[in-house]
Amino acid sequence: MPSLPDLYLQFTFDLFASAAFDHLHWGLFDGVPREPRFLPDAQRVYAERVLALLPPGERVLDVGCGLGGLSRMMVEAGREVLAISPRADHIALIAAAGVPRLTARCVTFEALPDPESEYDALVFAESFNFFVGQHAGQAAGSLALLAQRCARFVKPGGRLIFADIVTEEIDRAIRAMPGFSLVAEEDVHEYAAYSAEVFQHTLTRAVRPYHALIMGVLEHQAPELSAEVARVLANVPNVPLRGIFGGHMVETDFARDKRYRMYALERRPAGP
């Protein structure tokens, strides 16, 4: 059973998501007006950019699928998609939509059984950072383990697609992932960075009042629990998202020590 701090984090994120967007990812304001109301358009640009990195072939595994917006677009593009997430409520929403050629399962990537046949592509659209150590010196080891896991799911010549916020250390580790070769990449930071201010706007309008109310009650009634909630928020793996929840993330902050990048890595054939 989830702890109260974890439930609080889940509740806050749900408010954030339901108020802001369906795809549960950043938008690319490339040819899109830089205004909060155009976030859905920017998110579609983002999804189309991810789809452009997919290789030929039908079968795709969407790891950390959120509410399934990207998965549905991949199906519309002719793919057969397995969408996975540890969030049962998200998976229930995807399943209820009844999209043909889209299967949704409530499971983590670590617990997903090996497939009967390998996938043409694995997509990690903003789920990638949950598999990477967030402290200095951890990236290479984390990605070596991830590469071993991914090699059991993607066929030789198939692709890993990563789209996420990365530090220089993580960028170097991606380029050196054992068993995979980098075949395409794009720095989309200038188009993605404005999303930080859009999300901050949404928090201020829709989530911040609930956050202040709940934290005020906790601090008065259960100071130890209040401290535990603060600890949980401080350990959200996605560092920029943690900054947004903290109420101080703006576009210039986002640009200081990280970049939003997209990568396509191709699995090399097994050696003799």
| Phi, then psi, of 184 in degrees rounded to 5 | -160, 150
| Model confidence band, residue 99 (pLDDT cutoffs 50, 70, 90) | very high
In three-state secondary structure terms, 35 is coil
Q: How many CB atoms lie within 10 A of CB 222?
A: 13
Encoded tokens for 134: 């967030």
Which residue ranges make up each domain of the chain? Answer: 39-191+257-267
Distance CA 120, CA 153 (A): 9
**C-alpha dihedral, 43 to 48 to 53 to 58, nearest 10°:** 120
Distance CA 137, CA 115 (A): 32
Of the listed ranges 50-59, 123-132, 175-184, the one predicted with least confidence? 123-132
Distance CA 96, CA 94 (A): 5
Average pLDDT value for residue range 14-32: 67
> Which residue, 122, 126, 123, 94, is CA-closest to 25?
126
- Torsional class of 66: left (φ above 0), alpha (ψ -120 to 50), beta (otherwise): left
Distance CA 187, CA 33 (A): 20
Residue 199 one-letter amino acid: F
Distance CA 173, CA 162 (A): 13
| Model confidence band, residue 21 (pLDDT cutoffs 50, 70, 90) | very low
56-83 tens-digit pLDDT = 999 999 999 988 999 999 999 999 999 9
Distance CA 44, CA 47 (A): 5
Average pLDDT value for residue range 121-131: 91
Q: Percentage of the chain surpassing pLDDT 90?
A: 43
Q: Is the dihedral of CA 159, 74, 53, 194 positive or negative?
A: negative
CATH class assigned to 39-191+257-267: alpha beta
Of the listed ranges 180-184, 200-204, 242-246, the one predicted with least confidence? 242-246
Distance CA 135, CA 103 (A): 35
Residue 65 one-letter amino acid: C
Residue 61 one-letter amino acid: L
| Phi, then psi, of 261 in degrees rounded to 5 | -135, 155
More confident residue, 120 or 229: 120
